[in-house]
Structure 1
């Protein structure tokens, strides 16, 4: 090193001598050591003699270092590399660049001892490799962080961590060097940071579910962190974290919560609601929806006070015993029970309720009963009116479900029961598997064949047959019915069934024989050869075999004008015969035979007067029931729904027209363009929207109330009960019963 330096260099040397960093300067051309401070001498002390003239001699070498990087240096930036002393394995970081030193081109080196840092890095690397080997196959994300000097530094992430977090390659590099809560949702970040800081300070556990932006899926996903902080012997703190992808679970929980809220809203909207009772010696209410107190007109708050007592006492007193008995029976047999009962409204009127109840578990050793209630007051009122109307029909009506060719009864009115003299329970037992079982054996095949044919074709089945009466006799029954809807594996069949008078029953019992009267008459001379009457048709006490038939039977002197022997062929085909001067109707048939060698006709006559009268009576009843429908209080309308949301009137009853103080034609003129035109302007839009909403949502029933305009301009309050029927041709029709409720509004 030169002892003579310029003042400027001397000033620089003074500064460098006081630097905490080891520094030396050497010439580029001959490696001459131009300057070395005390820090550098300390590092090279073990090799230095104090007489070194070159940089490589100061480093303990006898010739230029083989790893010398001077040729790669520049004046613009430092060339940084590492150097390990052979003698003690110390590691140094060298940072060198080219400078001018007192007129000579030289390079300056800054030497930093990084031995400890490298040891720490190697240790950290070893830990990472060990963790990587240990946890690389674990499906959950595992991470180790080091907390030092207020900073959290990542030490290890297993492969699953990156898969769960979904970081991009750029972000992976970022999180491997720094923990900056990358991608955490802004709403979740403050809580996450707070929880981690608390865990670091207190040395406890941390658990939190939060959202992280997933680069691969381009969305926020829910992640769960389970972590713990451990303090090492040197007071270094390590945070161990386990990350789990709980996105599906959280979303499912959110969906379930939303569904639960929605279900609660639905339950509360049930006209009747849901309740759970604990059954001991009393019915203790555990839960009830909003609809339950509404049944009896109480608020939810009021009902909370009422249910502190036995809930069974809140039923109508005449039904309480039945309700308790049915529930106890369902508990005993582990079955579902359904029945109707009454509750008394707070204003005094009766509310009909249908309940479906089932045990769902136990509490304190007592059964828990889940009950679903429906307010059926309107339905019950309509049902009672319908039952009265149905049971007024001579005979009755029945509906059947067709399964495997069997007619399974669904419903039959009281009149059906009366026809055979059985009780309802007895008839249900007889017909439970097939309604045809009640038919007289001789008629069963005929009726069965006709019924199956009508079922397949969809035509009307009009047939008479005999059934066993409870008293042992046979009674004749007439059935008129048809299949409703398309043919399917479970078609429905509806029938009107009528009985016959005692006289008609007698007639039918005699008709079991060949005919009421049998007459053998000469083909050429009208001579009466033989007579046999099971009923007193034409024979007189003084009748004589051998006389002319017209004289013996009718007292005439010439062939009868109504005789069918000449007007019809002897082909045994039945045809009508009307006897002059009587109100009798006869059916007759005849064929040609040989009567003891003489050509003759065998004529069979049946008195069909009763059958004809029954036919007329049936037609009269049909007209009567049509009149009943036409004149129901309030009346009926049938509206066809078109795909363009238009509603076309198809039928308007006389009763409805009368309720509007109009004729049917006048009502049709009002309705033909807009069926809502006759409703009050404040009601029409609401009613129209409810009707269309009900149709579009597929509801089969809807009930509306509004003011209906009369012919004179006045209004009445009308309740309209609508049933939506889907016809087999795909057309939707609204069958509506209108009732004037002005007096009750």
Structure 2
């Protein structure tokens, strides 16, 4: 298999493709996914790559080969930490006997910009000069990562404590699962990793369950919530909090609420906090809705890509296996490579 698939032959100047080749080319152009083949040596030597690989890194193929000699370790020489992370992930997967690895990392393009990519690699039962081969797919997830970081900054800049919950078992004994929270919330209350009945998280939830239960009909309908609750912080400080919650998503039929807690223990600070809250809540709701939709779209895309790429990958591995079995038959090897 070569980087640019020229088909199995030509008739009257028109390229002819096998079904597998046609499927591969169609999938690659539809998905726009970078696919490459590497040796699992100390350089992670590039054997071949499709056109999207070079588009992703911003280097034309000829320049990449001339400058880096198909050695990713040279390509990463100005980013030693990223190269170390990639190398360690690959070696750990090999040592653990895994079929491949996945890694979220950033790469530097020719123009100096950085782009976040999702590495999805699979180790093949194929060896070249005694060195095992791996196939990699690189997906551009730069927009998603930047959106998540912007969301995190928004969380931290809001007044008060910010948390996101999934509310389950609406019919009986509601349960609140903490999905995320800003640093201020975690410092005061911690997370819900310890779900024991006597944990601070559960004590605060249970002590306010009567008030939460009163909101059940609104929660079931995904409507905004506004009420007050009395809690204790990790250091034992008692606080009265005003709760302002908006349903931002649904997961398996369960509403997901973004909640902003305003400390009203000191009423003097409340008025200023409320003024900021009113101005920022609507903007945050819209931003989070866009972020959640983009996150689901990216997740669905990565899931489909992982499934749909298996067929052409298996065809590639199959052709190399046949070629290896008939290594002395030059014509057959050439046919396999085509």
Determine the structure 1 residue equivalent to 2:104: 340
Query: Structure 2 vs 1, CA of residues 281 and 383 (structure 1 numbering), >3 Å: closer, same or farther?
Result: same
Please tell me whether residue 290 in structure 1 is matched to residue 55 in structure 2: no
Match of 2:183 among 408, 411, 414: 414
Determine the structure 2 residue equivalent to 1:274: 35
Give the distance between the partners of 2:94 and 2:176, measured in 1 at CA. Answer: 34
Determine the structure 2 residue equivalent to 1:498: 261
Determine the structure 2 residue equivalent to 1:133: none
Give the distance between the partners of 2:220 and 2:87, measured in 1 at CA. Answer: 47
Deviation at 1:297, TM superposition (A): 1.7
Give the distance between the partners of 1:370 and 1:400, measured in 2 at CA. Answer: 39
Determine which structure has more spread, i.e. the larger CA radius of gyration: 1
Give the distance between the partners of 2:131 and 2:177, measured in 1 at CA. Answer: 40
Determine the structure 1 residue equivalent to 2:244: 480
Query: Structure 2 vs 1, CA of residues 385 and 407 (structure 1 numbering), >3 Å: closer, same or farther?
Result: same
Relative to its length, the structure with more helix (as a share) is: 2
Where do residues 194-209 of structure 1 align in structure 2 (5 Å cutoff)?
none
Where do residues 13-32 of structure 1 align in structure 2 (5 Å cutoff)?
none
- Any conservation in 2 of the 1:479–1:495 contact (CA below 8 Å)? no
Deviation at 1:262, TM superposition (A): 0.6
Where do residues 652-731 of structure 1 align in structure 2 (5 Å cutoff)?
none
Determine the structure 2 residue equivalent to 1:459: 223
Give the distance between the partners of 1:284 and 1:387, measured in 2 at CA. Answer: 37
- Any conservation in 2 of the 1:459–1:482 contact (CA below 8 Å)? yes
Give the distance between the partners of 2:62 and 2:185, measured in 1 at CA. Answer: 49
Name structure 1 gaps, 5 residues minimum.
1-252, 505-609, 630-635, 637-699, 702-722, 724-745
Partner-residue secondary structure (3-state), 2:235: coil
Where do residues 555-594 of structure 1 align in structure 2 (5 Å cutoff)?
none
Query: Structure 2 vs 1, CA of residues 477 and 441 (structure 1 numbering), >3 Å: closer, same or farther?
Result: same
Determine the structure 2 residue equivalent to 1:371: 136
Where do residues 480-629 of structure 1 align in structure 2 (5 Å cutoff)?
480-484=244-248, 489-500=252-263, 504=265, 610-611=266-267, 613=268, 616-625=271-280
Partner-residue secondary structure (3-state), 1:319: helix
Give the distance between the partners of 1:451 and 1:276, measured in 2 at CA. Answer: 56
Determine the structure 1 residue equivalent to 2:164: 399
Partner-residue secondary structure (3-state), 1:281: coil
Q: CA RMSD in A?
A: 3.9
Give the distance between the partners of 1:386 and 1:283, measured in 2 at CA. Answer: 35
- Any conservation in 2 of the 1:477–1:498 contact (CA below 8 Å)? yes
Give the distance between the partners of 1:317 and 1:378, measured in 2 at CA. Answer: 24
- Any conservation in 1 of the 2:247–2:256 contact (CA below 8 Å)? yes
Partner-residue secondary structure (3-state), 1:331: helix
Relative to its length, the structure with more strand (as a share) is: 1
Deviation at 1:620, TM superposition (A): 0.8
Give the distance between the partners of 1:303 and 1:359, measured in 2 at CA. Answer: 24
Give the distance between the partners of 1:378 and 1:496, measured in 2 at CA. Answer: 25
- Any conservation in 2 of the 1:450–1:461 contact (CA below 8 Å)? no
- Any conservation in 1 of the 2:177–2:192 contact (CA below 8 Å)? no
Match of 2:124 among 355, 358, 361: 361
- Any conservation in 1 of the 2:163–2:182 contact (CA below 8 Å)? yes
- Any conservation in 2 of the 1:274–1:373 contact (CA below 8 Å)? yes
Where do residues 90-489 of structure 1 align in structure 2 (5 Å cutoff)?
255-267=19-31, 269-270=32-33, 273-305=34-66, 308-315=69-76, 316-333=79-96, 334=98, 337-347=101-111, 349-364=112-127, 368-402=133-167, 404=169, 406-420=175-189, 422=190, 427=191, 429-430=193-194, 437-440=201-204, 442-446=206-210, 449-450=213-214, 452-484=216-248, 489=252
Give the distance between the partners of 2:205 and 2:167, measured in 1 at CA. Answer: 21
Name structure 2 gaps, 5 residues minimum.
1-16, 288-292, 298-338
In the TM superposition, structure 1's runs of 4+ consecutive aligned residues that sit over 6 Å from their partners are 626-629
Query: Structure 2 vs 1, CA of residues 439 and 373 (structure 1 numbering), >3 Å: closer, same or farther?
Result: farther
Query: Structure 2 vs 1, CA of residues 448 and 325 (structure 1 numbering), >3 Å: closer, same or farther?
Result: farther
- Any conservation in 1 of the 2:43–2:72 contact (CA below 8 Å)? yes
Deviation at 1:477, TM superposition (A): 4.1
- Any conservation in 2 of the 1:395–1:498 contact (CA below 8 Å)? yes
Query: Structure 2 vs 1, CA of residues 396 and 321 (structure 1 numbering), >3 Å: closer, same or farther?
Result: farther
Give the distance between the partners of 2:194 and 2:215, measured in 1 at CA. Answer: 19
Partner-residue secondary structure (3-state), 2:193: helix
- Any conservation in 2 of the 1:331–1:367 contact (CA below 8 Å)? no
- Any conservation in 2 of the 1:278–1:363 contact (CA below 8 Å)? no
Instruction: Output the TM-score relative to the length of structure 2.
Output: 0.61
Deviation at 1:351, TM superposition (A): 1.2
Give the distance between the partners of 2:214 and 2:200, measured in 1 at CA. Answer: 12
Instruction: Output the TM-score relative to the length of structure 1.
Output: 0.30
Determine the structure 2 residue equivalent to 1:730: none
Give the distance between the partners of 1:438 and 1:484, measured in 2 at CA. Answer: 23
Deviation at 1:298, TM superposition (A): 0.6
- Any conservation in 2 of the 1:278–1:285 contact (CA below 8 Å)? yes
Give the distance between the partners of 1:614 and 1:430, measured in 2 at CA. Answer: 32
Deviation at 1:444, TM superposition (A): 4.8
- Any conservation in 2 of the 1:327–1:357 contact (CA below 8 Å)? no
Deviation at 1:495, TM superposition (A): 1.7
Partner-residue secondary structure (3-state), 1:418: helix
